[in-house]
Structure 1
Amino acid sequence: MTAPALEAPAPTRLWTPRRVLVTRSAAERPHGQRVLARLEAAGVSDVELLPGDRLPSLRGDDDRAAFMAAKDTMALVVPPPSKRRLQPIPPSADFRLDLAEGCPAHCQYCYLAGSLSGPPITRVWADLDEVLDGLDPYVGQGRITSGTLERGGEGTTFEASCYTDPLAIEHLTGGLARMVEHFGTHEWPGPVQLRATTKFDDVAGLLGLPHGGRTRLRFSLNAASVGRRFEGATSTVDARIAALGAVARAGYPVGLTIAPIMPVEGWREGYGALLEAVAAVLPAGTDLTVECITHRFTPGSKETLLDWYPRTKLEMDESRRTTKRGRFGSVKHVYPKETMAELRTWFEAAVADRLPQARFLYWT
């Protein structure tokens, strides 16, 4: 189906990188050429076409200066062949489908701090067309949603926002729109769904696309006090809620990702107000899911985040947490069992009360 033409709220924040590095192979790809055209249209002046396929070193003597320079840098590259082999991404989706790695936002709890190594530049993949053309063999092969009793109706799911915020860079890449159109118009061998989550609000270019109901756009939202304090360089919570309403009116299945949940002072009132604000913008019959993710950190992510944001007031006190160990010895510091139980009980009841049409996907 084609979504009706609807008015979108004006974007409140658009990222303009100070420097763009483009490898030779990326510049030769059709998607790479589309990105270059968008960069020119956006007025990005410092675009360096590299003679080969290796990026220059972005490390410097001053770690803080190197961090800020990296955050202001975008690289257009062709990833290694190993990136073409899609990996499962529980509990969100059957497979990870990356169009980029890295994010221009400054969230002080950023989970990418423990997932991506090296300077935090935003790397945009130029081989998007080839990746989309190779998705058919994955249909029906997932274990998170496809073939499951609880979420089988979603089909085979592909998560586009595991290592980036696709809407944060959409005005420069057009990659998310390309994915939405492909999922909406391609003749798939079975039911599928593209999933993307964002902390931004520039949705105007998505509203009229032939999405076919096969893309679920989710908005990562938090209590207003948490958003103001810890989510730098993102669209405001209110702006994201307005964008959520706009895409819902355009017929998209939508989602609310409440993350990271923190039991800050007045958390019940803050999160209750959030749920009420979301309910107010959604049209009747909206296909809505809810995912709840509590704040957690690893020893490595804590060290990186304190390097990135040395003045942060984010609570990362191991003595106030419970240690959770993964299958291969990895360590995460999560809230104690009693706190988790209190939070989960409240959220499940509050979502059922304020958003009765929503499907509660998972709590973690």
Structure 2
Amino acid sequence: MTPTRIWTPSRVVVTRSASELPHTAEILRRCVAAGVSDIDVLSGDRLTGLRGQSERETYAIAKKTLAVVVAPPSVLRPQPIPPSADWRIDLAKGCPAHCQYCYLAGSLSGPPVTRVFANLDEVLAGIGTHAGRGSITSGTAERGHEGTTFELSCYTDPLGIEHVTGSLAEAITRVGAGEYGDGVSVRFTTKFDDVADLVALDHRRRTRVRLSVNADDIAHRFEGGTARMPARIDALRRLAQAGYRVGLTIAPIMPIPGWREQYARLLADVADAVGDVDDLDLTAEIITHRFTASSKDVLLSWYPGTKLEMDEDLRTVKRTKFGGAKYVYPRETMSEMKSWFTRELDAVLPQAHLLYWT
């Protein structure tokens, strides 16, 4: 299997405040070891030099840049994140991948640069202050065994940047050692497969790693800069063998031509990979494709030639609790896909616990 090329930034910018923090030294050590030579410590805390002559050029510059910044107070306060976990903890914001349906489009301000937070101690402190609180897993009958859960991948793919940050390993190790109490766990989703360092960590089974998987045609066409599907499934197996709780984030599912056959093949491949793993703890989360008017505009500016279907006339409008509108598949399509996935998952991967469908 051909190893996935690991993303390495062409440029690293460090804000003045971030440059004074100890975790920044570790980040820069890793960047230098990865061959990054363009490292700029700014005189202030405002990021500069990230815009090009066009949106497409700005996108290209941002995607090659890693910014080391200080997480503001608003980021340090854990936020509820149903139905995934009790709380959200942000190690970074922004992602190096090139997914044409990017979940972050329209939700992050400014150029899509990857910002990693240097004040890691303060970021992770929220795990301790919110342990024992929450309504998704903490204290529930169905998922209470997970303890209070903290999602690390709402605004980034932490494994995709781990070799130049070290933030993910630090979080896993601290939680595993019980630094924030015994009744907490962290979880994240990734489309990358570089898990060699993770399998060596003393995680104490307090981390759940979910591999984001999809039909071959969708992954091949719309998920640029990520690991191929066989590599992700192999990473899932390696993590499970190392004792991690693992999971599948099947997302975003789309009713493309031949979707049943392609997703059936995907589930069969996963079943083959984990069938002989002892003490397997496997979950599944299934998310259908959706978009907003603003995210569509951003995505079309980033990927003007995309073949991703974003036709409002083919969708149903779903109102959010904040008054926004998402375009989702029609009720009949959603019902058909949900029924099929529920049956197929139960038949092919009966050991997988379906956490939610959305």
TM-score calculated relative to the size of structure 2: 0.97
Residue 191 (structure 2) pairs with residue 199 (structure 1)? yes
Between 60-69 and 273-282, report the one with greater CA deviation.
60-69
Does the Cα contact within 8 Å between 2:67 and 2:114 map onto a contact in 1?
Answer: yes
Instruction: Judge conservation of contact 1:227–1:237 (CA < 8 Å) in 2.
Output: yes
Structure 1 residue aligned with 2:303? 309
Task: Give the distance between the partners of 2:227 and 2:201, measured in 1 at CA.
Answer: 23
CA RMSD of superposed structures (Å): 1.3
Which residue in 2 is equivalent to 1:285?
279
| Distance in 2, Cα, partners of 1:76 & 1:285 | 39
Q: How does 1:161-240 map to 2 (within 5 A)?
A: 161-240=153-232
2:331 corresponds in structure 1 to: 337
Matches within 5 A, 1:311-330: 311-330=305-324
- 2:227 aligned counterpart, secondary structure: coil
**Is 2:290 the partner of 1:296?**
yes
Equivalent residue, structure 2, for 1:357: 351
Q: CA deviation at 1:296?
A: 0.3
Q: Does the CA-based 8 Å contact 2:267-2:349 persist in structure 1?
A: yes
Whole-Å separation in 2 of the counterparts to 1:93 and 1:325:
22
SS for the counterpart of 1:260 is strand
Q: Which amino acid aligns with 2:356?
A: Y
2:34 to 42, 50, 53: 42
1:285 deviates by 2.9
Once the two structures are superposed, residues 267-290 of structure 1 have per-residue CA deviations (whole angstroms, 9 ceiling, x without a partner) of 011001100111111114310000
Could you give the per-residue CA deviations for residues 82-128 of structure 1, whole angstroms, max 9, x where no partner exists? 21111011111111111100001000000100211210000000011
Give the residue type in structure 2 aligned to 1:18: S
Residue number among 236, 243, 248 corresponding to 1:251 in the alignment = 243
SS in 2 for 1:177: helix
Counterpart amino acid of residue 249 in structure 1: Q
- CA change 1:10–1:126 in 2 (3 A) is farther
Partner residue of 1:114 out of 106, 113, 116:
106
Shift of 1:148: 2.1
Distance 2:181 2:159 in 1: 28
Once the two structures are TM-superposed, the CA of residue 304 in structure 1 deviates from its matched residue by: 0.5
1:276 maps to 268
Contact persistence 2:92–2:116 (CA under 8 A)? yes
Residue 21, structure 1, aligned to residue 21, structure 2: no
Mapped contact 1:261–1:293 kept (Cα < 8 A): yes
Residues 1:194 and 1:10: Cα distance change in structure 2 (over 3 Å): farther
- Code of the residue aligned with 1:238 in structure 2: it is P
Q: Decide whether the 8 Å contact of 2:150 with 2:187 is kept in 1.
A: yes
Alpha-carbon displacement from aligned partner over 1:319-339 (angstroms, at most 9, x marks no partner): 111000012210000001110
Contact kept in structure 1, 2:59 and 2:302, CA below 8 Å = yes
Contact 1:23 1:54 in 2 (8 A): yes
Letter of the structure 2 residue corresponding to residue 318 of structure 1: E
Alpha carbons 1:140, 1:190 under 8 Å: kept: no
SS of 1:194's equivalent?
strand
Deviating more after overlay: 256-265 vs 60-69: 60-69
SS at match of 1:293: strand
The answer (yes or no) to whether the contact 1:132–1:182 under 8 Å persists in 2 is no
Aligned equivalents of 1:58, 1:139: Cα separation in 2 = 38
| Shift of residue 10, structure 1, vs aligned partner | 7.5
Tell me, which stretches of 5 or more residues in structure 2 are unaligned?
none
Q: Which of 56, 70, 77 lines up with 1:85 in the alignment?
A: 77
Shift of 1:81: 1.6
- Moved runs in structure 1, 4+ residues, more than 3 A? 187-190
**TM-score normalised by the chain length of structure 1:** 0.95
Provide the residue aligned with 2:134 in structure 1.
Answer: 142
The equivalent of 2:256 in structure 1 is 264
Give the Cα–Cα distance (whole angstroms) in 1 for the partners of residues 141 and 49 of structure 2: 48
Secondary structure (helix, strand or coil) at the match of 1:292 reads: strand
CA shift for structure 1 position 149: 2.6
Distance in 1 (alpha carbons) for counterparts of 2:50 and 2:352: 44
User: Which piece of structure 1 moves more, 75-84 or 309-318?
Assistant: 75-84
Cα deviation per residue 1:297-318 (whole Å; 9 max; x = unaligned)?
A: 0000011101100000000011
Name the counterpart of 1:153: 145
Q: Give, in whole Å, the separation in 1 of the partners of 2:304 and 2:144.
A: 44
Structure 2 CA distance, aligned partners of 1:225 and 1:67? 25
Identity of aligned residues (%): 61
Q: Is residue 101–residue 222 contact of structure 2 (8 Å, CA) maintained in 1?
A: yes
Aligned pairs, how many? Answer: 356
**What is aligned with 1:76?**
68
